[in-house]
Amino acid sequence: QCSAAVPLYGGSSTFHCLSLALAQQCLRGEELRARHQATLLQLRKKALREKARAELAWLGHQRRVLENLQDSHGASAMAAKQHKILMELKQEQAEIQHLQNIYRAAHQERKLLLKQQREILMMQHSTAQLQEKLHNLSG
């Protein structure tokens, strides 16, 4: 896309090509970063669910043992702990969702800025090419 012509104004064509390539590379990097962040948050969600599931299973077992021993006070304490774990899980999931929304919005904003930068560079390059053509026609 980039020609070898050296425009009179706005720097060399090579500079425009490098800047455009850098903008493209930044866009690809941003996409990769966003995918990694989304994956990390999904893994965090999964780990939280698995941890909560294991804790709830253990407490459920403990509660059944206490119920079989007819220890209603101990069994109700285990039920309360299970409820607490569920509430903590919901709170953590809400926090992760909030982080996902923040990261998604920031990603979209950075992506838009990078695309705008790329468009500006492309316009600068085409302007420089036109200026070179005009210079060649008038010279």
Say if residue 6's pLDDT is above 50: no
DSSP string, 60-103: HHHHHHHHHTT-HHHHHHHHHHHHHHHHHHHHHHHHHHHHHHHH
pLDDT tens digits along 54-70: 999 999 999 999 999 99
pLDDT given at position 138? 87
Q: Find out whether 107 and 30 touch, Cβ atoms under 8 Å.
A: yes
Say if residue 124's pLDDT is above 80: yes
Average pLDDT over residues 108-126: 89
Q: What's the sign of the alpha-carbon dihedral 63, 67, 69, 71?
A: positive
Average pLDDT, the chain: 87
* % pLDDT > 90, the chain: 65
Say if residue 4's pLDDT is above 50: no
Q: Find out whether 125 and 13 touch, Cβ atoms under 8 Å.
A: yes
* pLDDT classification of 18: cutoffs 50, 70, 90: confident
Cα separation of 138 and 88, whole Å?
Answer: 74
Q: Find out whether 2 and 20 touch, Cβ atoms under 8 Å.
A: yes
Q: Which residues of 118-132 are buried (b: 16+ CB within 10 A; e: fewer)?
A: beebeebbeebbeeb
Residue with tokens 């780990």: 47
pLDDT tens digits along 57-112: 999 999 999 999 999 999 999 999 999 999 999 999 999 999 999 999 999 998 89
pLDDT given at position 98? 97
pLDDT given at position 10? 46
Name the more confident of 6 and 112.
112
